[in-house]
Structure formats: C-alpha cells, structure tokens
Amino acid sequence: MAALSGFAHDDSVSVEDFRVRSTDGAMIQSWIVKPAKSNGRMPVLFAIHGGPIGAFGDGWHWRWNALTWANAGYVVVLPNARGSTGFGQEFIQGIWRNQWGAQCYRDLMAVADEMATRSLSYNGALQDLGTLLHRIALAQTVPSAVPADLPEYNDIVRLASLFDAEEVQLYYQIAVHGRNELGLAPDEYAGFSMTLLRMLAFRPGVGGA
C-alpha cells in the first residue's frame, strides 16, 4: 500500500520464505521476519497460529503483526504446520481425528530444530577468527606469550609456521573490518562470506592494483 501511495519509507525488516522437511517427509513452510540490520544473536519469537485451520500468509494482519515484534528486536518465526491452509486438503486433514498434538507438534519441532542449526552468529565467528589470528601472530613473534595449556595450542603453533607474518596481519585486519561492517551488508551471511572471500582475494605480494 505504501508503494502504491508513493509514501517513502525504509525497509525496517527482511522477510524470508523458509522451508524444512518434517519427520514424515512433508515440506513445512514458514515465514521468518527479522530486523533488516540484524547483527549477532537475537531473541527468537516462535509464533503458532490458531484456528486450528488457518495459515500465516505474506500479508499484514492487525493482530498477528510480525512487524511489531521484529521492530522490537526479535527474529519472528511463523510456521505453517499441519492443519494450515494453502498446502492441499491432505495437509489440512493432518490434524483431524484428534491429531492436533501429534504430527502438527512434530512439524513445529522440525522448524524449531532447523532454526537452531541456523543460529550461528557470524559476528561471533569473526570474533573467534580474530582471536585465533591474534594468537598465531603471538606465536610467530612472542611464542612464550601463548599459554601452553590452550586446547588448540598445537594447532596455533602449526599454523604459525605455515603463514607469513604479513599474511596473518592482513587477515586479522580484514576480520576486524568485516565484523564492523556486518551491519552494513545486505545480510549477515553475505557480510561473513565476503570477508572470507576478501582474505582469498588479497594476499601480500599477490595480485592487487
């Protein structure tokens, strides 16, 4: 409506059509609505529609308004589990004969489990990468500064022997800047992957303008 009226507005949220297979192989569709400039881990609001026959659609609703929650800082998951309309009669009948708490529940848990596997914090991943590169640099210049009781001590020493000091310093700088720029990227995955691609593209003494 805003676009049709010519009303200028910023896109405060991003919307994703998300699908995962349930325990019986049926595809379960969900909507994920989150702040457009999401950064790091965020609280998740897992909304379950009633009816029980109904569905979350790609549209605005005055009562179940995901924009309100997303603008408050939540990632909102809107699953269309068994019983939802728009996916065929058999899908709707999956909750008949008092089966509301059976396959429907398993559908919802399949969505929740898949969301858990996607909960990697790219901000945290770049922070961990920066910490590792810092320790590698220490191992190259001041080996005694790296605690020998670190679980990854042997790996740090091995990596320190494989990389030039210039490379480590450059990769550290790219990791730090990439982490700071996550909020400016189209989404966190794009920002994270571009940071890694930048490390591949720019190496001391290789290529460049």
Indicate the pLDDT class of residue 80, thresholds 50, 70 and 90. very high
pLDDT of residue 208: 47
Please give the helix or strand (H or E) that residue 23 lies within, else none. none
Widest distance between CA atoms in the chain: 70
Contact criterion met (CB below 8 Å) for 12 and 70: yes
Indicate the pLDDT class of residue 179, thresholds 50, 70 and 90. very high
Cα 145–Cα 154–Cα 178 angle in degrees, nearest 5: 70
- For 137-159, the pLDDT digits (tens) are 999 999 999 999 988 899 899 99
Indicate the pLDDT class of residue 99, thresholds 50, 70 and 90. low
Q: What is the dihedral of CA 88, 93, 95, 96, to 10 degrees?
A: 160
Integer-rounded Cα Rg, in Å, for the chain is 23
Least confident among 173-177, 188-192, 201-205: 201-205
pLDDT of residue 132: 93
Choice between 51 and 87, residue whose per-residue pLDDT is larger: 87
Once rounded to an integer, what is the mean pLDDT over residues 48-73?
Answer: 81
pLDDT of residue 117: 75
Indicate the pLDDT class of residue 35, thresholds 50, 70 and 90. confident
Question: pTM for the whole thing?
Answer: 0.56
CATH of 122-201, one of 3.30.56.10, 1.10.10.10, 1.20.272.10, 3.10.150.10: 1.20.272.10
CATH of 2-117, one of 3.40.50.1820, 2.60.40.420, 3.90.226.10, 3.40.50.1970: 3.40.50.1820
Q: Indicate the average pLDDT of the chain.
A: 84
pLDDT of residue 209: 43
All CATH 1.20.272.10 domain ranges in the chain, comma separated:
122-201
All CATH 3.40.50.1820 domain ranges in the chain, comma separated:
2-117
Determine the Cα–Cα distance for residues 6 and 202; give it in Å rounded to an integer. Answer: 44
Determine the Cα–Cα distance for residues 179 and 175; give it in Å rounded to an integer. Answer: 6
Q: Is the pLDDT of residue 68 over 80?
A: yes
Q: E-strand spans in the chain?
A: 13-21, 27-35, 44-46, 75-80
